[in-house]
Amino acid sequence: MSAADTTTELFLDVRGLHKRFGENVVLAGVDLAVPRGSVITVLGKSGTGKSVFLKCLAGIVRPDGGSIRFDGRSLNAVNAAARAEFRRRCSYLFQSNALLDSLTALENVALPLEQTTQIPNREIRERSLEALRQLELDKHRDRYPSQLSGGMQKRLALARAIVTRPELVLFDEPTAGLDPIRRNGVFEMIVKYQRQFGFTAVVVTHDLPEALVASDQVALLDGGRMQFQGTPEAFSLSADPTVRAFRDSAGALRDTITALRRGETVTSKEDL
Arithmetic mean of pLDDT, 152-178? 88
- pLDDT bucket at 251, cuts 50 / 70 / 90: low
pLDDT at position 6 over 50? no
The pLDDT value recorded for residue 7 is 44
Q: Kindly indicate whether the domain formed by 10-261 is annotated with CATH number 3.40.50.300.
A: yes
Angle at 4 between CA 230 and CA 92, to 5 degrees: 80
The pLDDT value recorded for residue 269 is 55
- pLDDT bucket at 8, cuts 50 / 70 / 90: low
**Structural domain spans, the chain:** 10-261
The pLDDT value recorded for residue 256 is 56
Q: Which residues contact 77 (CB under 8 A, 6 or more apart)?
A: 62
E strand or H helix at 215, and its extent?
A: none
E strand or H helix at 8, and its extent?
A: none
How far is CA 267 from each of CA 91, 169, 246, 255, rounded to the nearest angstrom?
A: 45, 42, 18, 12
pLDDT at position 161 over 50? yes
Give exposure, 68-104, as e/b (b: 16+ Cβ within 10 Å).
bbbbeeebeeeeeebbeebbebbbbbbbebebeeeeb
For residues 256 and 264, give the distance between their C-alpha atoms in angstroms, rounded to a whole number.
Answer: 9
Mean per-residue pLDDT over the chain, rounded: 88
The pLDDT value recorded for residue 3 is 46
pLDDT at position 240 over 90? yes
Residues counted in the chain: 272
pLDDT at position 39 over 50? yes
E strand or H helix at 91, and its extent?
A: strand 90-93
- pLDDT bucket at 202, cuts 50 / 70 / 90: very high
Arithmetic mean of pLDDT, 17-44? 96
pLDDT at position 113 over 50? yes
List the one residue out of 224, 183, 227 whose CA is nearest residue 205.
Answer: 183
The pLDDT value recorded for residue 189 is 84
Bridge-based pairing state of the strands 217-222 and 225-230? antiparallel
Bridge-based pairing state of the strands 73-74 and 24-35? unpaired
The pLDDT value recorded for residue 250 is 55
- pLDDT bucket at 214, cuts 50 / 70 / 90: very high
Higher model confidence: residue 119 or residue 269?
A: 119
The pLDDT value recorded for residue 97 is 84
Q: In this predicted structure, which of 89-98, 101-110, 221-230, 234-243 has the lowest mean pLDDT?
A: 89-98
| Residue 260 CB burial class (10 angstroms; 0-12, 13-18, ≥19) | exposed
For residues 223 and 30, give the distance between their C-alpha atoms in angstroms, rounded to a whole number.
Answer: 10
E strand or H helix at 243, and its extent?
A: helix 241-247
pLDDT at position 76 over 80? yes
